[in-house]
Amino acid sequence: MRITAPGRLVITRESVEERLGREWETHEFQLAIVSYFGHIKEWDDDEIVIAWDH
Amino acid sequence: MKQRYEALTRDLDWEPSYVAKSDVFPHTEFEGIKIHDWSKWEDPFRLTVDAYTKYQAEKDKRLYAVLDGFAQSQGHLTLTEASYLNAMKLFLQGVTPLEYQAHRNFAYLARHLNGPGPRFAALCQSIDEMRHTQTEIHTLSNYNKYYGGFHNYLEQHDRVWYLSVPKSFFDDALTAGPFEFLIAIGFSFEYLLTNLLFVPFMSGASFNGDLPTMTFGFSAQSDESRHMTLGLEAIKFLLEQDEANVPIVQAWIDKWFWRGYRVTALVAQMLDYMLPRKVMSWKEAFELYFEEQMLGGLFQDLAFYGITPPKHVDDAIAEKEILSHQVYWTLYQFSHAAAFTTTFPDADAQTWLAENYPGTFDKLYKPLWDKEARNLENGGRHFVRGLPQLCQVCQIPMLFTEPDDPTTLCQRESVHNGEKFQTCSNGCQWIFEREPEKYVQAWLPVHQIYQGNCGGPTVPDVLAWYGIQEGDGGEYKGSVDDTNWKSWHNAADHSHIGSEA
Amino acid sequence: MQYELRTQVIDPPRKTFDHLVRRYGDRPASRYEEGTIDIQAKENFHYRPLWDPAHDIYDEAYSAFRLTDPYSFTDPRQYYYAPYVTSRAAMADAVAATLDYLDSRDLLSRLPDAWSSVMGELLVPLRHYESGAQMVSCDIARFGFGTTITQCAAYAAFDRIGNAQALSRVGIALGGGTAELLADAKTRWVEDASLQGLRRYVEELFLEKDWGRALVRLDVADRLVYGLFFAHLDDAAIDQGAGSYSLVAQHLSSWFADQRKWVEALYKAWVTDPGTGAANTQLLAVTTTEALAAALVALGPVAARADELVGAAAAASLDATATTIRDAVAALTA
Ligand SMILES: [Fe+2]
Ligand SMILES: [Fe+2]
Ligand SMILES: [Zn+2]
């Protein structure tokens, strides 16, 4: 599965937990990704933001 | 998370006062890179040791369960065909030792970079790369038990002519300074070219029934996302620290793009010729992963810093429809001296090639194979008995053609200290002339054979020195692998329990 | 297509890779062996390092310690990556459980004041010592000769960051959930008279270019530091009603026991090597003796400060460890 978004892509803990129906740590994202393209701007407890900051 | 991470990772550093700082970090000045504030290095992953070990242990548990299951159930018999494993032989011989080289040199960065943030990121990558080395060996170890070509991969990486292509590439990076290494491997290899170097092998595995390699690949790729981030962070950091860094970094991008791109020549032929079930053509992969994502995406973003697309990128684009054909045609004729087999592309394969390369295959390469078909009919499969001349930089046989003329061989000559050196392309010539003192040192396999350093003067002497056994190389049809594969399948119960996956 | 193989047994033509057959004979190899033995490139290096043209990329001349066959040493723990991270994940879990427990019962704030000071003034600043040890271990991981050795060093380097982070966590817990005490500990590491000897020892160690000597010098300091903080003071803490110190110390002491397994095995391989054993023995004795003298100077003030705070005969314990090390050296050259 491939996801693309123009400019900015945000993955929030809340929305993943909602869909999974269980608790989810953003670090767990690493078990799921195969490859990515872009710049990881933020990665904290609540969200992962892929975007350029300029 | 950010504060906690910073407290746990960043503040570990202190200014030395009993010894000079430049003695503690003796390698970060000679390259001319200027760093004013190491704390500006961002590590978006913010992984601490406990989280790292937890997730990595979980990933390995899953991976080794797949490897064990596959081995126990004789899973190798469910591959599309034994010839598929040629791609994996190339991988184990050519790529796995590079993972190990990366492991060692990221440990070097984890010691010799001045900032604790990048040191920790480099340390994680160092042990990740050890993971990749070992999981690749463990994944392919099972195939080694049944098939040729895998058994002597370590010695071969150090000795065999076509493996000096990846070996010299990584040796080049390891002998550079820490910042050049960051751009060479962290950025160019892990970010710019990873989807052309690494991913095609994994996609090939998934299309050809190789569940272990596919599982390994996905598992490794989740580490790669961290490595890609480190590479991108490295380049941003260097560019933001000082304007004077920009031209230095640009020259490294120019060098390492071409250096890495030449290594992908081996991948190109693998994608187009070695996979029984094709994934996508080299041309398509190049257009998607390089032209679209990198030139169309990444370099647009890097333009902000004054970085332009790599020099000689047009030469690479110009040869995207001819590269794989030229390389495979050469390997086909030299595979008697290799630890993989090659074979004539059958009618289906040729149809696929013609469809995917409408501008070049029928016109330029089909005639070669037609001629070879006549040789085969007469019982004379073609092998070249001589030794090819190698490019002084990329070490690929001089098989490439002029950028604007696919029928004229490209040959560049440079003179250094009165001696002549041959290169295969504008890119390799430019690299040579930028650092001739480095490239004159190259251990060129063909020169070494002529000088008598490779086991003896005859081909059998050299093959013995390579540790090549009967069935490792040459023609696939009728080879040991082919024969075993057929007999194992004839002995097996052929009741179909599932159709093509 | 998928085929079902009923009872067919295929005898694999090969048991393992050639280099392992050459070394161990024609038998199946373990995952540790396949993933470790002979992995470091051996020959035909293409270029010399720009920063050290006198050496090859991998070169035994990076140290005076030599093994005739670098793979005569193997890790007694047989760690390759998977078992290594699995074991460390379990260690990290145990540390987290301790910290959670200390936190839930508010045990750190109930420590006797003097022990609270030992932790804040002396123990937490050791995170910088661990961070220095990481750098030294990384030098060994890059410049060491032979994958069995460098693999141990790389994992040890990672362990050191783990230790530093565990100590940092203790500091955060001790500081009531803030990083204040960590900032304080850093100032102490840089300024406190009692810690300057140790800091100097680490800084001087950064300049050691011979990875074998660096390994020995670090190990000597480690034995004194770990002996003092995680064995001797651990006992004293229990005696003096500072059980939570001991709850923390147990993790570092069991890590150190694990660490010393491979270091001791390497020493053994060095001194028993049929070709280079005599030279290595001499070198090990001299290096250890020199390092011990310097490390005692470095750690004397640390022990003295501990004694000032909790009167635990720390200085005497340091001497006892030193005697053990001297005895081991004497046994080497006897
Ligand atoms: Fe890797
Ligand atoms: Fe990587
Ligand atoms: Zn070239």
pLDDT exceeds 60 at position C3: no
What is the rounded distance in angstroms from the CA atom of residue B198 to the CA atom of residue B136? 12
What pLDDT, on the 0 to 100 scale, is given for residue C1? Answer: 42
Answer with the residue of higher pLDDT: A39 or B368.
B368
Q: Give B2-24 pLDDT, tens digit per residue.
A: 677 777 776 889 999 999 999 99
What pLDDT, on the 0 to 100 scale, is given for residue B496? Answer: 41
pLDDT exceeds 70 at position B170: yes
**β partners of residue B421:** B414
What pLDDT, on the 0 to 100 scale, is given for residue A48? Answer: 82
pLDDT, chain B, mean: 93
pLDDT exceeds 60 at position B501: no
Residue C52 lies in a domain: no
pLDDT exceeds 90 at position B267: yes
Residue ranges of B 7-46 with Cβ closer than 8 A to chain C: 7-9, 11-19, 23-24, 26-27, 30
Q: C46, C55, C129, C200: best mutation site toward chain B, by most B Cβ within 10 Å?
A: C46
Residue A46 lies in a domain: yes
DSSP one-letter code for A12 = E
Q: Are strands B341-342 and B474-475 parallel, antiparallel or unpaired?
A: parallel
Place of tokens 């005497």: C316
8 A C-beta contact, residue B427 and residue B360: no
Q: Give C81-118 pLDDT, tens digit per residue.
A: 999 999 999 999 999 999 999 989 989 999 999 999 99
**What is the mean predicted confidence (pLDDT) over B303-327?**
96
8 A C-beta contact, residue C218 and residue C201: no
CATH number, domain with residue C94: 1.10.620.20
8 A C-beta contact, residue C231 and residue C157: no
8 A C-beta contact, residue B310 and residue B254: yes
Answer with the residue of higher pLDDT: C177 or C261.
C261
Which DSSP string corresponds to C129-195? Answer: HHHHHHHHHHHHHHHSSSHHHHHHHHHHHHHHHHHHHHHHHHHHHHTTTSSHHHHHHHHHHHH-HHH
Q: Is the minimum CB–CB distance between B81 and chain C shorter than 8 Å?
A: no
Residue A35 lies in a domain: yes
Closest CA relative to residue B22, chosen from C300, C207, C149? C207
Distance from CA of C207 to the nearest CA of B (A): 6
Side chain identity, residue B74: Q
pLDDT exceeds 60 at position C283: yes
Closest CA relative to residue C263, chosen from C144, C167, C164, C95? C144
CB-nearest to B225 from A27, A36, A54 is A36
Residues of chain B with Cβ-Cβ distance to A2 below 8 Å are: none
- What is the widest separation between alpha-carbon atoms in chain C? 77
* CA geometry: angle B203, B209, B212, nearest 5 deg: 80
* CA geometry: angle C134, C139, C140, nearest 5 deg: 95
* CA geometry: angle C3, C5, C8, nearest 5 deg: 145
Interface present between C and A (3 or more CB pairs within 8 Å): no
Closest CA relative to residue C190, chosen from B14, B21, B18, B115? B14
Residue A28 lies in a domain: yes
Q: How confident is the model at residue B493 (pLDDT cuts 50, 70, 90)?
A: low
Closest CA relative to residue B278, chosen from B207, B194, B199, B188? B207
Interface present between A and B (3 or more CB pairs within 8 Å): yes
- Count structural domains, chain C: 1
Q: Give B127-167 pLDDT, tens digit per residue.
A: 999 999 999 999 999 999 999 999 999 999 999 999 999 99
* Boundaries of every domain in chain B: 2-14+24-490
What pLDDT, on the 0 to 100 scale, is given for residue B354? Answer: 98
What is the rounded distance in angstroms from the CA atom of residue B432 to the CA atom of residue B414? 8
8 A C-beta contact, residue B259 and residue B394: yes
Helices in C230-276 by DSSP H: which ranges? 233-239, 243-272
What pLDDT, on the 0 to 100 scale, is given for residue B344? Answer: 97
* Domain coverage including residue A14: 8-51
* Domain coverage including residue C140: 80-333
What pLDDT, on the 0 to 100 scale, is given for residue A35? Answer: 66
Q: How confident is the model at residue C319 (pLDDT cuts 50, 70, 90)?
A: very high
Q: Is the minimum CB–CB distance between C12 and chain B shorter than 8 Å?
A: yes
Percent of chain C with pLDDT over 70: 98
Tokens describing residue C116: 């609270």
Q: Give A1-54 pLDDT, tens digit per residue.
A: 777 777 788 888 888 888 888 888 887 777 777 666 777 777 777 888 887 766
List all residues 6 or more positions away from B194 whose beta carbon is below 8 Å from its beta carbon. A35, B224, B228
Q: Give B327-345 pLDDT, tens digit per residue.
A: 999 999 999 999 999 999 9
CATH architecture of B2-14+24-490: Orthogonal Bundle (1.10)
What pLDDT, on the 0 to 100 scale, is given for residue B65? Answer: 97
Residue A2 lies in a domain: no
Residue A1 lies in a domain: no
Residue A40 lies in a domain: yes
Its sign, for the CA torsion B214, B215, B217, B222, is positive
Helices in B10-147 by DSSP H: which ranges? 21-24, 49-72, 85-94, 96-112, 116-146
What is the rounded distance in angstroms from the CA atom of residue C148 to the CA atom of residue C159? 17
pLDDT exceeds 80 at position B28: yes
- Count structural domains, chain A: 1
8 A C-beta contact, residue B293 and residue B409: no
CB-nearest to C14 from B8, B124, B145 is B145
CA distances (Å), origin B261, targets B234, B266, B287, B313, B425? 20, 10, 13, 9, 12
Residue A25 lies in a domain: yes
* CA geometry: angle C181, C174, C311, nearest 5 deg: 95
